[in-house]
Amino acid sequence: MQNRSLKKLCGFLTAAAMALVLIGCRGASGQNGTNGTNGTNGSNGSNGPAGPAGPTYALDASTFTPDQWSELTLKGSITSVTMGTTPIVNFKVTDGNNTPLKGLGFAGQSSSDLYKTYLNMAFSVAKLMPEDNLTGAPSRWVSYIVTTTPTIAAPTVWVPTRPTTDTVGTLVDNGDGTYRYTFRRDISQTKAQLDAYTYTGTKIKADLDDVTYDPSKTHRISLYIGGNAWGTGSNNATRASTPIPAVRIKYPLNPTYDFVPATGAAATVRRDLTTMAACMSCHSKFEFHGEGRQDPAYCMMCHTDQRKFDRAEGTLVNGVVSSNGKFRGHGEGDMPYFIHKIHMGEELHYKYQGTGTPIPGLGYGGVDYNEVTYPQDHRNCVKCHTSSTATPQGDNWFKRPSRFACGGCHDQIDFQTGANHGEGGAQLSDLHCIDCHTETITKTLHTPIVPPNPQNIYLVPNGGNNNTNAAFIAAYNGTGTTPLNIPVGAKKPS
Same domain? 96 vs 240? yes
Same domain? 80 vs 139? yes
Residue 489 lies in a domain: yes
> Which pLDDT value is given to residue 474?
52
Residue 348 lies in a domain: yes
End of a domain among 247, 271, 295? 271
The span from the CA of 481 to the CA of 483, in Å, is 6
**Residue 343 belongs to domain with CATH number:** 1.10.720.180
Residue 298 lies in a domain: no
pLDDT in tens, 161-196: 999 999 999 999 999 999 999 999 999 999 999 999
Residue 70 lies in a domain: yes
> Which pLDDT value is given to residue 488?
43
The span from the CA of 85 to the CA of 480, in Å, is 67
End of a domain among 219, 250, 271? 271
Residue 275 · residue 392 · CB < 8 Å:
no
Same domain? 439 vs 489? no
Tell me the residue range of the domain where 407 lies. 311-446
> Which pLDDT value is given to residue 358?
54
Could you tell me the pTM of the whole model? 0.79
End of a domain among 241, 271, 301? 271
Residue 203 · residue 148 · CB < 8 Å:
no
> Percent of the chain, pLDDT > 70?
78
Same domain? 264 vs 188? yes
> Which pLDDT value is given to residue 369?
84
Same domain? 108 vs 204? yes
Same domain? 243 vs 370? no
Same domain? 118 vs 65? yes
Same domain? 194 vs 258? yes
Same domain? 165 vs 191? yes
Residue 412 lies in a domain: yes
Same domain? 117 vs 259? yes
97, 108, 104: which is closest to 224 by C-alpha? 104
> Which pLDDT value is given to residue 478?
47
* Strand partners of residue 171: 181
**Segments in the chain below pLDDT 50:** 1-2, 4-10, 12-13, 15-27, 453-469, 471-473, 475-494
Beta-sheet strands, E only, within 332-451: 351-353
Same domain? 435 vs 355? yes
The span from the CA of 457 to the CA of 465, in Å, is 13
pLDDT in tens, 286-297: 777 767 677 889
Return the ∠ at Cα 440 (arms to 434 and 441), rounded to 5°: 70
Residue 287 lies in a domain: no
Residue 179 lies in a domain: yes
Same domain? 471 vs 409? no
> Which pLDDT value is given to residue 33?
61
Strands 107-108 and 117-118: antiparallel
Backbone torsions φ then ψ of 339, nearest 5 degrees? -70, -40
318, 329, 314, 331: which is closest to 415 by C-alpha? 329
Ordered DSSP codes for 233-246: TT-STT----SSPP
Residue 427 lies in a domain: yes
pLDDT in tens, 47-82: 767 766 656 799 999 999 999 999 999 999 999 999
The span from the CA of 364 to the CA of 342, in Å, is 10
- The count of structural domains within the chain is 3
